[in-house]
């Protein structure tokens, strides 16, 4: 998703939904831990983004967010 442009908390919310669905399907314990950490990070960013309309997450997080949204789109997750 090289043309990804952050559109605010809704992007983060979609990524969280994807990660939660992925977490529910996962059976590998290490993968579950990694997904849970990604969910925790995304939830923290979501709180910041909803509290301050001018907040913009770090470029590193936005890169991961782009990847989550791309994988969600590939999986057919809204």
> Average model confidence (pLDDT) for the chain?
93
pLDDT at residue number 7: 93
CB 14 within 8 A of CB 71: no
Q: How confident is the model at residue 51 (pLDDT cuts 50, 70, 90)?
A: very high
- Rounded CA-CA distance 20/10 in Å is 15
Domain boundaries, the chain: 9-75
pLDDT at residue number 1: 43
77's tokens: 């997750």
* Per-residue pLDDT at 2 exceeds 90: no
């Amino acid at each position: 998703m090289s043309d990804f442009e952050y559109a605010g908390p809704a992007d983060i919310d979609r990524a969280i939904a994807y990660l939660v669905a992925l977490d529910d399907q996962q059976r590998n314990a290490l993968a579950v831990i990694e997904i849970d950490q990604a969910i925790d990070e995304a939830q923290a960013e979501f709180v910041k983004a909803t509290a301050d309309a001018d907040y913009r997450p770090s470029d590193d997080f936005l890169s991961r967010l782009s990847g989550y949204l791309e994988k969600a789109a590939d999986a057919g997750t809204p």
